[in-house]
Amino acid sequence: MSWKKTTRVAVIGAGFVGSSFAYAALNQGVADELVLIDLNQQKAEGEAMDLNHGVPFTRPMTIWAGTYADTEQADIVIITAGANQGPGETRLDLVEKNVAIFESIVQDVMNVGFDGIILVATNPVDVLSFATWRMSGLEPGRVIGSGTILDTARLRYLLSDYFQVDARNVHASIVGEHGDTALPVWSHAAIGGRFISDYVKDENHYANWEDLEQLFVQAREAAYDIIERKQATYYGIAMGLVRLTQAILQDENAVLTVSVLLQQEYGEDNVYIGVPAIVNGDGVREVVELPLSSQEETKFKHSVNVMKNITQAL
């Protein structure tokens, strides 16, 4: 009989994002074990009970409400805990609150001997990914922020609707801060292999830059619109975290737009920011350096500087 390593994912924070991730992870069968950790133990227990009642409808998974001791054997720790973004509040407004929360979380995780990969989803995700890397002492490739994985998905969805094609055949990225200084990389955006810029140049096609820029604004501002209507966003980011988890546990070498530490890539260093990166069982294998247009380069540098100014003050 062949031996297979048991995979374990620990989720810290059983709120909207953490529980949505757990539900999506169960549906997709991404791991053998899933442990939920929350200051509110009863909330974590209730979520675990509810999820376990769905196990008969999918592949076997062991789910329980645990403690930080359970992270010792985890392959991945996903941190979704922290103060939420409220109506009218930017992600950067959350810095001081959540850095203090993360100091306690990261210390508790590392104190039990955790030696896996940490995924950070709490906002401001780029700043908190940087803080987690510094606090944990892990190699930078093993601390990954969700970055612009959701921004990119939002743009791909909107472009798929605009061009009337399957979103999986839209290849476009948003890079930079997961926030107000993010930017679309139009110079590499394509539909099924054809550059979007070619569609704009085509006199027989309806595509135009005004429409496309408005789609980007919709993608960038989506969180504000959703929070205004339902107080929080969680399904999209939960799906993005499941995708990241799959890429790691299945050693995929998948290219995803995540928040990673730049070490001279794009001419920058000592900053976590959203860029395409190759993700596998070891974490981030390498950053994919896209040749940016001069305008994109200027906007990206501005986004990096905003992040650097905040992280250097930590």
Model confidence pLDDT, tens digit, residues 213-240: 999 999 999 999 999 999 999 999 999 9
Q: 307 with 186, same domain?
A: yes
Q: Are residues 153 and 302 in the same domain?
A: yes
Which region among 2-11, 18-27, 159-168, 198-207 has the lowest average model confidence (pLDDT)?
2-11
* Entry pTM: 0.94
How far apart (Å, rounded) are the C-alpha atoms in residues 271 and 314?
12
Provide the domain limits for residue 206: 149-311
Q: Tokens in use for 32?
A: 């053998």
Give a yes or no: residue 3 inside a domain. no
- Structural tokens at position 99: 């850095």
- Which of 145, 164, 195 is the endpoint of a domain? 145
Q: Say how far residue 207 (Cα) sits from the centre of its chain.
A: 30
Instruction: Confirm whether 34 is domain-assigned.
Output: yes
3-state SS of the chain? CCCCCCCEEEEECCCHHHHHHHHHHHHHCCCCEEEEECCCHHHHHHHHHHHHCCHHHCCCCEEEECCHHHHCCCCEEEECCCCCCCCCCCHHHHHHHHHHHHHHHHHHHHHCCCCCEEEECCCCHHHHHHHHHHHHCCCHHHEEECCCHHHHHHHHHHHHHHHCCCHHHEECCEEECCCCCCEECHHHCEECCEEHHHHHHCCCCCCCHHHHHHHHHHHHHHHHHHHHHHCCCCHHHHHHHHHHHHHHHCCCCEEEEEEEEEECHHHCEEEEEEEEEEEECCEEEEECCCCCCHHHHHHHHHHHHHHHHHHCCC
Q: Which of 90, 123, 145 is the last residue of a domain?
A: 145
pLDDT confidence bin for 145, thresholds 50/70/90: very high
Statement to judge: residues 138 and 162 lie in one domain? no
Q: Are residues 159 and 290 in the same domain?
A: yes
User: Within 13 Å, how many C-alpha atoms sit on residue 130's CB side?
Assistant: 24
Kindly indicate the confidence band of residue 86, based on its pLDDT and cuts at 50, 70 and 90: low
Domain count of the chain? 2
| 78 and 181 fall within a common domain | no
Q: Is the pLDDT of residue 306 over 60?
A: yes
Does 134 share its domain with 163?
A: no
**Rounded-to-integer distance, Cα 144 and Cα 129, Å:** 7
169 confidence band (pLDDT: 50, 70, 90)? very high
Residue 174 and residue 271 share a domain? yes
pLDDT greater than 70 at residue 2: no
Q: Are residues 166 and 268 in the same domain?
A: yes
Q: What are the backbone dihedrals phi and psi of residue 295, each rounded to the nearest 5 degrees, phi first? A: -70, -45
In a domain, 2, yes or no: no
Give yes or no: residues 161 and 304 share one domain: yes
Q: For residue 260, what are the contacts with CB-CB under 8 A and spacing of at least 6?
A: 129, 140, 141, 144, 145, 147, 272, 273, 275, 277, 284, 287
What CATH number should be reported for the domain holding residue 211?
3.90.110.10
Residues 116, 202 share a domain: no
Give the Å distances, CA to CA, from 276 to 30, 145, 238, 259, 298: 22, 12, 19, 9, 18
Domain holding 42: CATH number?
Answer: 3.40.50.720
Is 184 a domain residue?
Answer: yes
Q: Is 1 within a domain?
A: no
The whole-number pLDDT of residue 1 equals 42
Phi, psi of 236 (to 5 degrees): -60, -50
In a domain, 281, yes or no: yes
Whether the per-residue pLDDT at 313 is higher than 80: the answer is no
Of 111, 145, 179, at which residue does a domain stop?
A: 145
Q: Are residues 18 and 70 in the same domain?
A: yes
The answer to the question of residue 172 being in a domain is: yes
Let me know whether 206 and 93 are in one domain. no
Could you give the residue numbers annotated as active site? 178
Is residue 303, in this structure, part of any structural domain at all?
Answer: yes
